[in-house]
Amino acid sequence: MKQIKHHLTESLLMGYAAGTLPEAFDLVVATHVSMCDDCRAAVAEYDAVGGEVMLDMPPMDIDVDALAATLAMIDKGAPVPKPRQKARGVFPAPLQDYVAGDLSAVKWRKVGGGVSQMVLKTSGDATVRLLKIPAGTAIPDHGHHGTELTLVLQGAFFDDTDRFAAGDIEVANEDLNHTPIAEAGADCICLAASDAPLRFNGIMPRIAQRFIGI
């Protein structure tokens, strides 16, 4: 397994363990955690702390339908991160469950500049998509109206802050303005989730944004 240099923030790990993140963010976190030993261990620690807190809580009366409601929530819950196995393709298990397969199962839609995407179906207040950025291609200069998580699955990209390779995740917020560029070599495949539209600085990307929903 390649060394991962860019990890999830503490608040995202805690939110994932507590079940408070949007489904789109849950998917990106679960996919990264399945690739990253350090973040998987951190989630396990937060899960353990949550269990201890529940044990210390006083008993409460519950509704007779509580069990059925809980089971229904589990069925719709966050993807379960499992350690990535060798020779299983590009996508870890949590993502394969959403795509119904690996990279070959993706139905790409061109969005301009050689970049393609596939929006994945999730509920909640955030969206998530797969992005294929041809090697050497730049994403137009942009900022963020909210939070965006970008997980690299294949290839690499670099921007104004650093280089991100397979397994690395970039957590962007309103303070970051950048121009990601896919590195030479393999096409860069990313899983990206955002809870608000991007803030493109050029007029043409802003016009295209109305049609592609980024």
Residue 138 burial (CB count, 10 A) = 14
Question: Any residues with CB less than 8 A from the CB of 119 and at least 6 apart, and which?
Answer: 127, 128, 129, 213
Higher pLDDT, 197 or 28: 28
**Per-residue DSSP letter, 64:** T
User: What is the per-residue pLDDT across 168-206, written as a single tens digit (0 to 9) for each?
Assistant: 999 999 999 999 999 999 999 999 999 998 777 767 666
∠ CA(14), CA(44), CA(168), 5° rounding? 70
100-212 has the same fold as 10-96: no
3-state secondary structure of 28: helix
The torsion angle over the Cα atoms of residues 61, 62, 64 and 70, rounded to 10 degrees, is -160
Which CATH code, of 1.10.3720.10, 3.40.50.720, 2.60.120.10, 2.40.30.10, is assigned to 100-212?
A: 2.60.120.10
Question: Are the C-beta atoms of 112 and 208 separated by less than 8 Å?
Answer: yes
Confidence (pLDDT) at 113: 85
pTM, to two decimals: 0.81
Tell me the residue ranges of DSSP E strands in the chain: 109-112, 115-120, 127-133, 142-144, 148-154, 156-158, 163-165, 169-172, 181-182, 188-194, 198-200
DSSP 8-state code for residue 131: E
Report residue 148's pLDDT band, with 50, 70 and 90 as the boundaries: very high
How far apart are the C-alpha atoms of 190 and 18, rounded to whole Å?
Answer: 25
- Round the CA-based radius of gyration of the chain to a whole number and report it: 18
Contact 39, 8 (CB under 8 A): yes
- Residue 67: per-residue pLDDT: 58
**Cα separation, 63 vs 125, whole angstroms:** 28
What CA–CA distance (Å, rounded) separates 190 from 156?
9
pLDDT at 55: 42
Q: Does residue 10 carry a pLDDT above 50?
A: yes
Packing angle between helix 23-35 and helix 10-18, nearest 10 degrees?
A: 110
State what percent of residues in the chain have pLDDT above 70.
Answer: 75
Indicate the domain borders of the chain: 10-96, 100-212
Q: How confident is the model at residue 210 (pLDDT cuts 50, 70, 90)?
A: low
User: Residue 158: is its pLDDT beyond 70?
Assistant: yes
In angstroms, the CA 15 to CA 143 distance is 24
What integer best gives the mean pLDDT of the chain? 85
CATH 3.30.70.660, domain 10-96, yes or no: no
pLDDT(118) > 70: yes
Task: Dump pLDDT digits (tens) for 81-105.
Answer: 666 554 468 999 999 999 999 999 9
**What is the per-residue pLDDT for 86?**
47
Summarised one tens digit per residue, pLDDT across range 38-74 is: 999 999 999 987 544 444 456 656 665 655 655 554 5
> Is the pLDDT confidence value at 120 over 80?
yes
Among 1-10, 74-83, 167-176, the range of highest mean pLDDT? 167-176
